[in-house]
Structure 1
Amino acid sequence: MTAFLPLERSTLYSPAWFVPFDDYAQRVRTAGVEVGLDRLDDGRWLPLDDRPVRTPSAAVTFPGLGRRSAASAARPERHRARFAAAGYQPLYPADGEPFSADLVGIEFLVHPYDDTHPPAVEAAPRLVRLLPSVSFPYPPGLRTVHGFVRDAAASPVPVPVANALVEARGRMGDTEWHERTLSDASGAFRLALRWTGEKADENAVEETFRLQATERPGRSGALVIRLPGDAGPHVIEIREQS
């Protein structure tokens, strides 16, 4: 009779489980999503050759990562996962965590284990939201606004703010809506506005939207636009918030 090891002691165990999620379509997405893995070594991130495995439940895992011949003599190592997909930019903070534009991956500890020493921490799936980028192929005719996110303190030459979170929120009837995207390396953004903005009355043509851009906690900017009049491009200036 073959002896089967518990999952946490087998080569199938993964210290990290990720579920890529298309934030625009509001559904899980695995096709076309690339995942890179790095290990922190003496203060530097070193790319690894480990290839992810996609499970039937649409999770991305790294089976066997952390398995050692002698786990008791090894120490936990910090790793990070980096995501890429054509037309998307990954939103790295988890839901409920403060946004910061300088995050370039999802960091996690890999605890060593072997047949007699199981991993010290049980892994749980983590949702990774993929937001539409400037190059996202929106359907023809869909209303979008575009522009740039810049540092308000930079003068006279504008300095772009890359990877800033650009959002618009509102309510249509009983439904609250939320659109968001991330700026690219040049500070450019393109945001879909699929919902109706604020109106002076139900027959008004003009709609008002408030765009919010965030670089990190304490550094953000806002801009009010009125459509269809304000054609853009729109500039959102980031400044320190008191």
Structure 2
Amino acid sequence: MIRYPVGTSVLHSPAWFVPFDEFAQRPRAAGVSAELDRFDPDGNAWVPQDTPAIRTPSAAIAYPDLGRRRGPGALPERFRVRFAATGLAPLYPADGTDFDAAVAGIEFVAVPYDDTTPPAVESEPRVVRLLPGTAYPYGPGVRTVYGVVVDAATRAPVGNALVEARGVTIRDGIAWLERTLTDAAGAFRLALRWEGEPAAGPPPVQVFHLTATERPGRTGAVEVRLPTGRNVRHVIEIAEH
């Protein structure tokens, strides 16, 4: 889990978010937008809010004063934030949480407080991982493969599926991970910067095992062989397991 120092000043905010470009391995401040929704329990729906976010000098996004309500009977309110950035796709489940493509934002609760009674719960900064999408501007020389994730039964595209490749470096055995999210049409483009499993030729190839996850128990996989499969459209079929 990444811990990132956040300058919170003296502001009260029920949530602090640090957008993090996972491919570049650095916080991302420019070009990231955040949309706030409030859950309406009467209508059982999320309602967009016009509450503006603020950005701290340490690149955090926060909603100061959200939850400030005077008077007896004020109750906690449920909110969510949806992020967007050109070329990037937000990974909403927190570190250590099972992936689910249906999760559409990061939820939090704003506890009511006033000038004499501070919030009962102090919030911790949350890293929001931004994964490279199909339009991510990979630099020159970055090896990528592409394809689509579909439902094995219906052949319908699976949007927002998590596509991953894992392995270890041949020389020193260091574990590596590359991952991306599919777009609405199920398409993906995944960087493969590290070595795959060597396989005898001719010609000699490296083997990579790509997995796609829609939710726990609903996954698929495909084997990619490079360099022969570099310009092949790889299809990953999602099914129940």
TM-score by length of 2: 0.91
Specify the alignment match of 1:212 in structure 2: 211
- Partner-residue secondary structure (3-state), 2:50: coil
Give structure 1 regions of 4+ aligned residues with deviation exceeding 4 angstroms.
none
Question: How far did 1:117 drift?
Answer: 2.4
Question: How far did 1:11 drift?
Answer: 7.8
State the Cα deviation string for residues 98-142 of structure 1 (Å, max 9, x = none): 000011100111111002222121100000000000011111332
Specify the alignment match of 2:5 in structure 1: none
Q: How many residues align?
A: 229
Specify the alignment match of 2:102 in structure 1: 102
In 2, distance between residues paired with 1:205 and 1:114? 68
Question: How far did 1:205 drift?
Answer: 3.0
In 1, distance between residues paired with 2:180 and 2:16? 24
In 1, distance between residues paired with 2:10 and 2:51? 14
Question: How far did 1:174 drift?
Answer: 2.7
Return 5+ residue gaps in structure 2 as ranges: 1-7
Comparing 118-127 with 96-105, which one deviates more in the overlay?
118-127
Specify the alignment match of 1:51 in structure 2: 52
In 2, distance between residues paired with 1:167 and 1:115? 48
Pairwise mapping of residues 1-242 of structure 1 onto structure 2 (< 5 A)?
Answer: 12-41=11-40, 42=42, 43-70=44-71, 72-154=72-154, 158-172=155-169, 173-200=172-199, 205-230=204-229, 231-241=231-241
State the Cα deviation string for residues 218-238 of structure 1 (Å, max 9, x = none): 000011111111231000000
Over aligned residue pairs, what C-alpha RMSD do you find? 1.9
Question: How far did 1:60 drift?
Answer: 0.8
In 1, distance between residues paired with 2:57 and 2:203? 49
Return 5+ residue gaps in structure 1 as ranges: 1-7
Question: How far did 1:83 drift?
Answer: 0.4
In 2, distance between residues paired with 1:130 and 1:65? 25
In 2, distance between residues paired with 1:209 and 1:188? 18
1:63 is aligned with what amino acid?
P
Structure of higher CA gyration radius: 1
In 1, distance between residues paired with 2:52 and 2:118? 22
User: Is residue 11–residue 64 contact of structure 1 (8 Å, CA) maintained in 2?
Assistant: no
TM-score by length of 1: 0.90
Comparing 88-97 with 165-174, which one deviates more in the overlay?
165-174
1:114 is aligned with what amino acid?
D
